[in-house]
Structure 1
Amino acid sequence: MFWRDGSQVDHVSVTDRSFQYGDGCFTTILTKSGKMQLWDQHVKRMERALSQLKISPVDWHKLKSDIDKLASPKVLAGIKIHVSRGEGGRGYSPNVNRGPLITLSQFEFPASYIELRRSGLEMTLCDISLGLNPLLAGLKHNNRLEQILAKEHVERSGHIDGIVLDIEGNVIETTMANIFWFKDGVLHTPSLKMAGVEGVMRGEVLRIVAQDECPIVIDSFKLSTLKAADEIFVSNCILGVAPVTKIQDAQFPIGNMTRRIQEKLGQ
């Protein structure tokens, strides 16, 4: 179900900028028994995207009130916040007739995610490479064509997820999550300054590991570095943290550090 301005809707205007140009941003939030998780972090991430895209600010207090009324009472569920710049504007001109426009949707928690958290994921390598775009890197904007093509390749290969590189051969993310690995007690994760999505759960993982005073390296890494890892895991706000047990022909154990992070996240 979808809501806009407190009312249930099943369509949007053909002049909506998100429909016309992917002009907006979104975030997906885990809810537990109707309570949003990591709300402040989602707001911060969305405010950065809105600022970067030059979209007018959102009334977060009102929006939270609306979401509290709509969130599922189930133990686990999800809410998606979709922001469009608005309606109207000739061609690429960002001058809109009204906006921003916010659409809320509620969705079920994927039952398979519980098992993925426990037993891990087997990954393929996507044949789609991400372009370099420092202006939009890190943002969860509404134009996700690269990710859609990467996901199409993953599903065609019979896998749930896959590793995505940029056009220079650097590991960036997976088709559904950010990626981390430990090597000799040091946490590694790719830099997202040129490509990729900076997930809210990524920030939580970095915060938890930093609290344990574990060394962290954020940099550019090739696939060979990832495959030499001691343990690998992925993160997003709905899945949480899940281990990676295989990438192509390389296998990996489910590590103690991954389990420790899951425990600290309440999984």
Structure 2
Amino acid sequence: MMLINGQPQEHVSALDRGLSYGDGLFETIRLVGTHAPLWERHMQRLLLGCERLRIPAPDPPRLWQEALQASKNLPHAVLRITLTRGIGERGYALPSVSKTTRIVAAFPAPLIPAGIYLQGIRMRLCAIRLADQPLLAGIKHLNRLEQVLACAEWSDPRIAEGLVCDQRGHVISAIAANLFAVIDGVIVTPSVDRCGIAGVARAALLDAFPACAVRDLPLAECLHASELFLSSSVRGILPVQAVGDTVYAPGPVTRAMQQCWRDLGFPMEQA
């Protein structure tokens, strides 16, 4: 079900700035029944994004009521909340008065085979490099062209994700997930101060494992890690089986992170 500004419908104006300029934000939220274990973290990031982009902030309680309405009858749902600056005149200048467009849509959660969580996924190194823009780093703004082009680099169904670097050759993330590595016994996740998304699942893991280091991660160092795994608010904790010809095996840290995910209230699906 989809709600636009609280009403069941599926269409927005062709003059909406979200369509014209990618002028907006989104959050993708996993629901388990009528519970969203990471809701507060999603709202914190959404409000931060509104502040950065100078978009009028939504009312989180209203969003929650619309989330429940949109996801009704879905026992496991993925909710997408999209905010745009609304309809505006032609040109980049901000409208004198913004009337935010608010879209809340719910979809059935993907069913991920149990073997994926046990054995992991295969990845490839993407050719595209993420551009630096500290003002937009961390938040989920609507311009996802880098990710679209990264996904277009391969068609092999055996490869589930791509590893993406910045302009300096430092690993930032997967295309649609954050990345963690175990290097010399230390858990490391790349800094996303210049580009990339500060995932809410990543934030929950950083709180649960405070010894985790957040720093620049050169590609060569990443590829020599003893464990690699991804974090996603929708898919959970995914072990990395291989990046190209470099092979990994899920280890104790990966398993501990998966248990932490379960403890947050998320199931590990089986298909």
Instruction: Calculate the TM-score normalised by the size of structure 2.
Output: 0.92
Displacement, 1:169?
Answer: 0.7
Report matched runs for 1:253-264 at 5 Å: 253-264=249-260
Tell me how far apart the structure 2 counterparts of residues 118 and 96 of structure 1 sit (CA, whole Å): 53
Report matched runs for 1:98-137 at 5 Å: 98-112=98-112, 114-137=114-137
Aligned to 2:4: 4
Tell me how far apart the structure 2 counterparts of residues 97 and 220 of structure 1 sit (CA, whole Å): 40
Displacement, 1:143?
Answer: 0.7
Displacement, 1:71?
Answer: 1.7
Displacement, 1:98?
Answer: 4.8
Tell me how far apart the structure 2 counterparts of residues 196 and 114 of structure 1 sit (CA, whole Å): 28
Letter in 1 for 2:247: Q
Displacement, 1:20?
Answer: 0.4
Deviations 1:57-116 (A, max 9, x none): 111111111212222444422100000011113300111665211101111211236542
Letter in 2 for 1:83: L
Higher relative contact order (CA 8 A, sep 6+): 2
Per mean C-alpha deviation after superposition, the further-off stretch among 66-75 and 132-141 is 66-75
Aligned to 2:178: 178
Give the direction of change, closer, same or farther, for the CA distance of 1:22–1:113 in structure 2 (3 Å limit).
farther
Per mean C-alpha deviation after superposition, the further-off stretch among 61-70 and 227-236 is 61-70
Aligned to 1:219: 215
> Quick check: 1:26–1:142 contact (8 Å CA) kept in 2?
yes
SS of the equivalent of 2:202 reads helix
> Quick check: 1:87–1:97 contact (8 Å CA) kept in 2?
no
Aligned to 2:237: 241
> Quick check: 1:24–1:141 contact (8 Å CA) kept in 2?
yes
Report matched runs for 1:75-114 at 5 Å: 75-95=75-95, 98-112=98-112, 114=114
SS of the equivalent of 1:140 reads coil
Aligned to 1:229: 225
Letter in 1 for 2:170: N
> Quick check: 1:137–1:195 contact (8 Å CA) kept in 2?
yes
Letter in 1 for 2:226: D
- Structure 1, unpaired ranges of 5+: none
Deviations 1:200-249 (A, max 9, x none): 10101111112xxxx32211121111111111100110011110010111
Identical amino acids, percent of aligned pairs:
32
Aligned to 1:166: 166
Report matched runs for 1:56-75 at 5 Å: 56-75=56-75
Tell me how far apart the structure 2 counterparts of residues 64 and 256 of structure 1 sit (CA, whole Å): 36
Tell me how far apart the structure 2 counterparts of residues 83 and 241 of structure 1 sit (CA, whole Å): 27
> Quick check: 1:35–1:68 contact (8 Å CA) kept in 2?
no
> Quick check: 1:79–1:106 contact (8 Å CA) kept in 2?
yes
Instruction: Calculate the TM-score normalised by the size of structure 1.
Output: 0.93
Aligned to 1:18: 18
Displacement, 1:157?
Answer: 7.7
Displacement, 1:26?
Answer: 0.2
Displacement, 1:24?
Answer: 0.3
Tell me how far apart the structure 2 counterparts of residues 157 and 224 of structure 1 sit (CA, whole Å): 26
